[in-house]
Structure 1
Amino acid sequence: MFTPVHADFFNAPTLELSRNLLGQILVHELPEGVVAGRIVETEAYMGAEDRAAHSFGNRRTKRTEIMFGKPGLVYTYQMHTHTLVNVVAGPEETPRAILIRAVEPVEGIELMRERRGKHMPMKQWTSGPGKLTKAMAINMDYYGHYFTEKPLYIAQGNPVESVSVGPRIGIGNSLDAVHYPYRFWESENPFVSKFR
């Protein structure tokens, strides 16, 4: 039903890949069924020269180690009580990553409803990076997994017609990096996270 993208898909410059991810499908094949969401919002983190990136200044720690790997690897990390999921980007040893910020549910709606709460409106299920991992049961176990391999993969979708570009969200202490236009989203999509 869903076909993982080819490894070559990830071999694009980071900002281009961040835009190209829009419209692709994030798929998680679970024992109880498949959950999938169309990617509608991403944020690029440009590594050594980007103050907002975990790998700013080529910082190499247990957490950031995977960012130095090949593009298309999964970089998960914990923020408060949430797991956030990222696509490693850029050539090896260039520690860049793209945060998947929001998806639009396309498969496994009932499974997502159970995880996010029966009374929550659907457009709040996956409209943020911690929300979508909860809805799709993505956890830290996927750190270092490869996004072309099941059970968690990015599948071919359709390119997005209208893309908006702007500053990233929630990086208030990163000086000039606050203003970099590294966030991409499908214009007018109701599942895009709210900019506060």
Structure 2
Amino acid sequence: MPDEAAIPDVLADVGPRLRRLRERRGVTLTALAARTGISKSTLSRLESGQRKPSLELLLPLAQAHHLPLDELVGAPRIGDPRVRMQPKTRNGRLVYPLTGANSPMAVWKVVIPPQSERRLRTHAGHEWLYVLAGELQLILGEHDLILSAGEVAEFDTRVPHWFGPTGEEPVEILSIHGSHGRRMHVRAAPRAGQPA
């Protein structure tokens, strides 16, 4: 939802913004009036803030300046919820980021090919692994576990760990990593008064 407190500021800045844009492009009020069909006096009042911006005035101006309307008026950006996945290769693994850079949790889809090296590592944080396809071997401290599609593991990443395919076929997983101390809350039992 856009910040409603910012709307009056955006509207107040439309006139000066239109003047700066016109002057930067070296266009006179007379030339702009001829291109848009808006009178020179209306354009002048709009730029000085004496006339409120309306779609009737802004649409021809956007067309004349070859700019999208939101860029023309400096409208606040409303975030695009889509994450642009740019797959990367890390240590031979194909990694698809599923969260934005500023997200408090990092989520990846990872395709792990068969590997010969099994080097345990540690780092701060907490991790959840969900197996999408194939079989995953998880070595966690003294535990050596096999997880199949649909199974989940959750662990503190300060414990030495390694995970990868069990055999010669790749494994596909979702990996969710939270910074240390930040844990997902999963309700394992129904709330009081709810049926089991």
* Both proteins in one fold, TM over 0.5: no
Q: TM-score, normalization: structure 2?
A: 0.22
Larger radius of gyration: 2
Q: TM-score, normalization: structure 1?
A: 0.22
- Larger RCO of the pair (alpha carbons < 8 Å, separation 6+): 1
